Amino acid sequence: MLADLVDLDRHPIHQDGPARDALISRCRADLDTDGMFNLDGFFRADAIAQTLAMAAPLWEEKSFTHQRRHNIYFKKSVPGLSDDHPALKLHDTTNHTLCGDLLQDTPVATLYYDPTLAQFLSDVMETGPLYPMEDQLAAFNVMAYHAGEALNWHFDRSQFTITLLLQKPDQGGGFEYRTDLRSADDPNYDGVAKLLNGEDDRAKLMTVEAGTLNVFKGVNTAHRVTPVEGDTARIITVMTYYDHPGARFTPEEQMGFYGRTG
């Protein structure tokens, strides 16, 4: 049952009425102000513990180590920019990914495929219907960052990004972001360069507790995960929905992100 996974008393995503309407209004206001919203204590502790326990034996042999040196666009070049433009500064990313096809029996999978969550997100973001991906590798992932590892500056391809923190590291592993750094009409390359040089005073650093659902406007919000410190890994779920059914990554994209196709 959804109530076994989500604190529905605190976050009534399931039942039409004044409480759900108020939650939706708050989330929309936070999106307008900050480019994101957080639902603290969303995923219950027992569901987190069960997911981590089921994932634990898979990390060593089944996870894909995603390690690359990249620019903020994940592209080799950008039309109109010279290769040495400061907006194309290179950074290192390392994380370890378990794909959704390995985690179909976990509480995270149950949450992802429950239409209640997709409907709530659709209502908040006013997108129209949202659908789980048909691609079971990409639909949802559980990612781990160990000491010294980070997800470096980038923009997402999707308009909104949905994450659920399962384990907070001892130190580091913060979520740093700059809301609305670019727009569909203005790539703001000089602003991107300023951010990458540490000169943007509108960049913010956020840390949240395990169980927090975070939704943010990833397509125009530059963001990164700062390097993890200590013996406790940062473990997070990333969930992806589309505005049409049947969405899949190409085989080339699957190989690039997961080291295999499926």
Pairing of β 222-225 and β 151-154: antiparallel
Burial class from Cβ neighbours inside 10 Å (0-12, 13-18, 19+) for residue 196 reads buried
The phi and psi torsions of 195 (rounded to 5 degrees) equal -60, -50
Q: How many CA atoms lie within 13 A of 87 on its CB side?
A: 18
Reported as a single tens digit per residue, the pLDDT across 21-71 is 999 999 999 999 888 999 999 999 999 999 999 999 999 999 999 998 999
Distance of CA 138 to the CA centre of its chain: 12
Kindly list the domain boundaries of the chain, sorted by start residue.
2-258
Residue type at position 188: N
Q: Is the pLDDT of residue 157 over 80?
A: no
Contact between 213 and 37 under an 8 Å Cβ cutoff? The reply is: no
Q: Choose among 70, 58, 67, 62: nearest CA to 95.
A: 67
56 burial level (CB within 10 Å; 0-12, 13-18, 19+): exposed
Whether residue 157 contacts residue 217, with contact meaning beta carbons closer than 8 Å, is answered with no
Q: How confident is the model at residue 224 (pLDDT cuts 50, 70, 90)?
A: very high
Which residue reads 């089921």 in tokens? 54
Cα–Cα distance measured from residue 164 to residue 41, given in angstroms and rounded to the nearest whole number: 10
In whole angstroms, what is the distance from residue 212 CA to residue 238 CA?
12
Predicted model pTM = 0.92
Q: Model confidence over 196-216: pLDDT tens digits?
A: 999 999 999 999 999 999 998
Cα-based distances in Å from 230 to 74, 148, 234 = 28, 9, 10
Structure confidence at residue 160 as a pLDDT band (50, 70, 90): confident
Domain 2-258 has CATH 2.60.120.620: yes
DSSP code, position 74: S
How much is the pLDDT for 262?
87
Mean pLDDT score of the chain, rounded to an integer?
95
Amino acid residing at 150: A
- Residues 228-243 as b or e (16 or more Cβ within 10 Å = b): beeeebbbbbbbbbbe
